[in-house]
Structure 1
Amino acid sequence: MHVDAALLPERRRVRGYILFTFVLAGALALAWKLHHVLLILYVSGLFAVVLTPIVKRLEKIRFRNRHAGKGTATILLFAGIFLALTLFFWIGFPPVIRDFASFVSDLPHRIPQALAKVQRLPLASKVDMSKVAAEAQNVVGAFAAYVFDALPRWATHLFDVLTGVILCVYFILEGEEVYQYFLSLWPIDKRTRLANTLLTSEERVSKWLFGQLTLMAAVAIYMLIVFGALHVRYFVLLGILMGITNLIPVAGNLITITIAIMVAASDSWTKALGVVIAYVIYVQIENAILTPRIMKTSVDLMGITVLVALLCGTEIAGIVGALVAVPTAAMVVVFANEYLVQHDDAPGRVT
């Protein structure tokens, strides 16, 4: 059988495409089979990227005229993290659980009282408050049941957490070797651009994460003081929730402050007004002072980007997915700006 020599390169190209398709399909199938392991690896690597700058700073500490090595610095870092978590679960967590249990048990009595006050407002008399109270109790009851039922399931992931911690330590200790090996897989003429993009991504993600944690701590401490001073019920629970929900732009804090206002209103309208005034003051301080100073060098993510990232991360991997969703989105934005965004530098055009 005679084969035209001019067609051989084309046939080799087609066979190459077919082979690449099968290899890609096999890789995707293997990734789906190992998705749980890959998730642990990814989360561990991401935390290693964030924690490595701290390790480098700790390496500069001198012990008897000697700098701490990377191993010693890593041990000091994780010892500090373990101590902080221990203090939180020993000192801070019990009041939150106590307030949550009291909130759930008191809710059936508090909702009718709050709705009775609301019904005295103009136009509120036209709303069937009995149905509103029933729906509110059902929603809170379902949420409370989910939280308490989910606690044992979360405890089953303890092995995954320990595995992730061990992997994170290895990534910190051997991260430079892994990074150099990864770069060696790319053509030499493209490594510099990729290396600069990876460094920018690492810097931006770290700054964003630490900045966000600072803002979360600021709003939590501020609201704990305000709620405590106003004698708002469950002030520890509500203050901690204000800090956690600060991760979700605008909507997160609005939901929590609405709950706080309702709780305060069940005691008095004056207390509820104090909560509103305190929250408005904090929003002004955060927008005018805290956010510009803390987040000015981080990735500027739009609110819709954060919400979509949180929804996708939660759907893919639950709480762990939500935890790493926004840093992942920040990293994707850096790569998109470098490789996908087309900058129009033509004169006379708006860029």
Structure 2
Amino acid sequence: MNNIKKKYIVYIVVATIIVYATVRYFGTVESYILRVTNTLMPFVAGAIMAYIINILMDSYEDLLLKKFHNKKIIRTVSILLSIFTFVLVIGLLLGLIIPQLVKIMFSIMYTNPSDIKKIIESISKNNIVDKIADIMNVDINNIDISGYVTKLIHSVMSSVGNILIGVISGISGFFNTVISVFMAVVFAIYILVDKERIAVQGDKLLRAFLPSKRDTVIDVLSIFNKSFRNYFISQVKEAIILGVLLYIVMLIVRLPYASSIAILVGVTALIPVIGAYAGLFIGALMIITKSFSSMIIFIIVHTIVQQFENNIIYPRVVGSSVGLPGMWVIVAVALGGSLFGIFGVFVAVPVAASLYFILKRETLKRL
């Protein structure tokens, strides 16, 4: 008993010293934490990349195992095919979207005043706008549309200028970014090659240091893994279907930028809740440079396609793969975004779904 008491006293003293040193030298501790975090970021990115690529790799391995039996060759070929597919998809998306976004930014920056005046006149004389104004009891003739549009363009141009300044300043760190990406890719490959060995090592650590909690830890990890995989696969399927549907409808009604906007909306649809609105806003901004009437048609088309997809296709494709009620999806996305930004928005739903499943299961056990 005395030895146990002495051990706890030592723990308390050490913890007290650590807390005091952290508070006393908070600035130094914070700088070291930031340095360690920045150093580990490529490896964290590599682990995330490996997790996503592993989903593709499992599919390729299942396909190749039907025809070949050499596991080393199958693993090597599956990794190469998975990385090639991952890079190809990212490259195609960036190659199709970025040029269009750059084009729209420059078209806004160099818009002639006469063109702005024509757009304003087309808005004020548009029948749809007149009907909406009549319903809302708004006299559109007394609204200073020109002033509002001018302020909007100035704000957009200033934002574009800030973005360009940020891009120019970011070029100085280009080589550091290249090195970080290279390290992340190499680390991801190491994880994919030795994933079974890593799993065995993790199991040994659990048996050595947490033998009584081993089954619980493995169970929780399997729940999180299943939730993330189901969420990622279902979101990708939903995004592809939404993009294809929007592309077909935009071709039918002859709207401009059909392929670029469809891909953009499909990519932004991967972001839960706010993604669809982001795609709608950027798509409308792209189309308004061609025609205001086309923009109105695009908003209507996008809304109809999205409602059809959400109410008819989404339940069939996604179903109960995540198992999180809609109310908690909104709460999870808002909380994740406020705490961790865009990364938090992406991971909030599967994390919340996993915690919801665990809490629900434990509640049913206790009842």
Fold agreement, TM-score > 0.5: yes
8 Å CA contact retained: 1:261, 1:272: yes
Give 1:319's aligned residue: none
| Residues in 2 aligned to 1:295 and 1:238: alpha-carbon distance in whole angstroms | 23
Give 2:25's aligned residue: none
The one of 127, 141, 150 aligned to 1:134: 150
| Residues in 1 aligned to 2:285 and 2:81: alpha-carbon distance in whole angstroms | 44
Amino acid at match of 1:280: T
| Residues in 2 aligned to 1:108 and 1:329: alpha-carbon distance in whole angstroms | 45
**Cα distance change, pair 109–219 in 1 and its aligned pair in 2 (3 A):** farther
Give 1:286's aligned residue: 309
Give 1:75's aligned residue: 80
The within-5 A match list for 1:155-166 is 155-156=174-175, 157-166=177-186
Deviation, structure 1 residue 225:
3.9
8 Å CA contact retained: 2:272, 2:333: yes
**Cα distance change, pair 136–11 in 1 and its aligned pair in 2 (3 A):** same
Q: Deviations over 1:72-104 (max 9, x none)?
A: 321221123334444555566545543553354
| Residues in 2 aligned to 1:262 and 1:91: alpha-carbon distance in whole angstroms | 17
The one of 222, 227, 233 aligned to 1:210: 233
**Residue aligned with 1:343, SS:** helix
**Residue aligned with 2:363, SS:** coil
Give 1:125's aligned residue: 141
Give 1:190's aligned residue: 213
**Residue aligned with 2:322, SS:** coil
Amino acid at match of 2:337: L
| Residues in 1 aligned to 2:51 and 2:264: alpha-carbon distance in whole angstroms | 27
**Cα distance change, pair 190–263 in 1 and its aligned pair in 2 (3 A):** closer
The one of 271, 280, 305 aligned to 1:257: 280
8 Å CA contact retained: 2:336, 2:344: no
Deviation, structure 1 residue 201:
1.1
Q: Which runs of 5+ in 2 are unaligned?
A: 23-28
8 Å CA contact retained: 1:43, 1:324: no
**Cα distance change, pair 107–230 in 1 and its aligned pair in 2 (3 A):** farther
User: TM-score w.r.t. structure 1 length?
Assistant: 0.76
In the alignment, structure 1 residue 15 sits paired with structure 2 residue 10? yes
Amino acid at match of 1:79: F
In the alignment, structure 1 residue 271 sits paired with structure 2 residue 294? yes
Q: Which runs of 5+ in 1 are unaligned?
A: 315-321
User: Which one has the bigger helix percentage?
Assistant: 2
**Residue aligned with 1:271, SS:** helix
Amino acid at match of 2:184: G
Q: Give the number of aligned pairs.
A: 334
Moved more, 128-137 or 254-263: 254-263
User: TM-score w.r.t. structure 2 length?
Assistant: 0.74
Moved more, 287-296 or 327-336: 327-336
Amino acid at match of 2:54: T
Q: Deviations over 1:51-86 (max 9, x none)?
A: 223323322305666454323321221123334444
In the alignment, structure 1 residue 45 sits paired with structure 2 residue 47? yes
**Cα distance change, pair 331–181 in 1 and its aligned pair in 2 (3 A):** farther
